[in-house]
Amino acid sequence: MLPKDLNELDLLLDDTFLQYIRGNSATAIAKWESYIRQHPEIKDKVAAAVALYYNINAAEAEKDRAAQLNRLQQAVKATRPVRRINYRQIAWRAAAVLLLGGIALLWPRLKPRTPAAGSNTLLVYSSEWGQRKLLTLPDGSSVILNANTTVRIPSDYSNKHRHVELVKGAALFDVQTNPEDPFMVTSKQIQTTVLGTSFLVKSYPYEPQSTVSLLSGKVKVSEKSGTAAPLTLAPGEQAKWNETKQEMSKASFDTIALRTWKTGKLVFDNASVSEVIRQLENWYGIPFRVNGNPLYTKRFSGAFDNDKLEKVLNIFCFTAGCSFQIQPDKVLIQF
């Protein structure tokens, strides 16, 4: 039997209860319908939990609201009205819970086509904002393209040289070791040379700097014109190229955050408004413009698994007290 002080959020923490709401598990549906019949005292809390789920998870509600509520009515048969819930007081907690069972990450795998003999063209691969792609290179190296990212690869890649150009965006490279054929990535004014390693290169048009963040191995980062001294990075170090000052510097960075990024999970752990917005910019590859005065004292925790930007913003703005508008080249946030 469930605890007497069980509340709506406790129900939503149960994976089988989420499956019951979504109707995607016959076992979970049978379990909860049976439990509700045996314990009518919980029926109001079940109805309130379903209402809270649909109130926050609008996309899911639009998809199957009618079917789920019809099944709920048949199972619950409530005899008294569902008590009113103060959503704004608990929504920030619910947001951290509801999306733990989100959409599974599916990597679209792209493999370069074999060019015609004698050709020396550039193969272009791009991802839209809100989309990530996995690119497998002929030598077995792989590239994860972040949202709003474009790379160019010569058609003779690995035959004569291993060279990738990051036109814009952010890309995580896992490079196969080949001492006789170094791997090179160019972006804006910098180039990164490696033998075998894992690193992230970020260079968005709306940001004044480019960065190279090293997870494993060793890389050399240099400025294309050769005016600045090259930097050699160890794991956990990051090279920053400042476009305005035309200078390069080195600093440490959070490797845990980058490894989490690699798995496709967007995680907020007691983050401020500015931290959330900065992470969303990096994750979805689109700049944010904020108007008004946000509550900088508010903190946010939650996990998203490759969810659409609109869905994440619905949760964020619901809890932060703001509105949003997604435009082709930016996101407007109004507090």
What would the pLDDT profile of 45-78 be if each residue is shown by its tens digit? 787 777 666 655 544 444 444 554 455 455 444 4
Q: Is residue 184 part of a domain?
A: yes
Q: Is residue 93 part of a domain?
A: no
Comparison of pLDDT for 161 and 226, the residue scoring more:
161
Comparison of pLDDT for 219 and 93, the residue scoring more:
219
Residues 116 and 141 in one domain: yes
Going by C-beta distance under 8 Å and a sequence separation of 6 or more, which residues neighbour residue 261?
Answer: 172, 200, 283
Does the pLDDT of residue 154 top 50, yes or no? Answer: yes
Cβ atoms 327, 295 nearer than 8 A: no
Does the pLDDT of residue 244 top 50, yes or no? Answer: yes
SS3 31: helix
Residues 73 and 18 in one domain: yes
Comparison of pLDDT for 89 and 201, the residue scoring more:
201
Residues 238 and 293 in one domain: no
Does the pLDDT of residue 94 top 70, yes or no? Answer: no
> Which of these three, 196, 222, 257, is where a domain ends?
257
Does the pLDDT of residue 5 top 90, yes or no? Answer: no
According to the model, what pLDDT value does residue 52 have? 65
Residues 222 and 180 in one domain: yes
According to the model, what pLDDT value does residue 112 have? 45
Comparison of pLDDT for 112 and 263, the residue scoring more:
263
For residue range 207-236, list pLDDT tens digits in order: 888 899 999 998 999 988 777 788 999 999
170: left (phi over 0), alpha (psi -120 to 50) or beta: beta
Residues 251 and 271 in one domain: no
User: What does the buried/exposed string (b/e) look like for 168-179 if buried means 16 or more CB atoms within 10 Å of the residue's CB?
Assistant: bbbbbbbbeeee
Q: What is the DSSP letter of 40?
A: G
Q: Is residue 99 part of a domain?
A: no
Neighbours of 79 (CB within 10 A): 8
pLDDT confidence of 172, banded at 50, 70, 90?
very high
DSSP letters of 60-119?
Answer: HHHHHHHHHHHHHHHHH--SSPPPP--HHHHHHHHHHHHGGG-PPP-PPEE-PPPPPTT-
Comparison of pLDDT for 237 and 119, the residue scoring more:
237
pTM, to two decimals: 0.59
Residue 194, amino acid: V
Does the pLDDT of residue 289 top 80, yes or no? Answer: yes
| Mean pLDDT on 264-292 | 86
Going by C-beta distance under 8 Å and a sequence separation of 6 or more, which residues neighbour residue 187?
Answer: 165, 166, 167, 201, 203, 210
Q: What radius of gyration, in Å, describes the C-alpha atoms of the chain? A: 24
According to the model, what pLDDT value does residue 49 have? 75
Q: Is residue 97 part of a domain?
A: no
- Chain centre to alpha carbon of residue 160: 35
Q: Is residue 3 part of a domain?
A: no
30: containing domain: 8-85
Residues 223 and 300 in one domain: no
Minimum mean pLDDT among 7-11, 143-147, 207-211, 280-284: which range? 7-11
> Which of these three, 229, 257, 285, is where a domain ends?
257
Residues 251 and 270 in one domain: no
According to the model, what pLDDT value does residue 143 have? 93
Residue 135, amino acid: L
Q: Is residue 101 part of a domain?
A: no
Q: Over the chain, what is the mean pLDDT?
A: 76
Into how many domains does the chain fold?
A: 3
Residues 117 and 241 in one domain: yes
Q: Which of 94, 182, 93 is nearest to 141 (CA)?
A: 182
* HSE (side-chain half, CA atoms, 13 Å) at 160: 7
Does the pLDDT of residue 6 top 50, yes or no? Answer: yes
Hey, CA dihedral for 215, 219, 220, 223, is it positive or negative? negative
CA distance 287 to 205: 10
Residues 115 and 229 in one domain: yes
According to the model, what pLDDT value does residue 57 have? 54
Q: Is residue 95 part of a domain?
A: no
Does the pLDDT of residue 185 top 80, yes or no? Answer: yes
CATH number at residue 292: 3.55.50.30
Residue 185, amino acid: V
> Which of these three, 220, 238, 257, is where a domain ends?
257
According to the model, what pLDDT value does residue 125 have? 93
Q: How far, CA to CA in Å, does 292 sit from each of 154, 195, 288, 330?
A: 46, 48, 13, 17
Residues 188 and 293 in one domain: no
Comparison of pLDDT for 130 and 178, the residue scoring more:
178
Residues 54 and 179 in one domain: no
Does the pLDDT of residue 184 top 70, yes or no? Answer: yes
Residues 239 and 298 in one domain: no
User: Cα torsion at 290, 292, 298, 299 (round to 10°)?
Assistant: 0
Q: Is residue 23 part of a domain?
A: yes
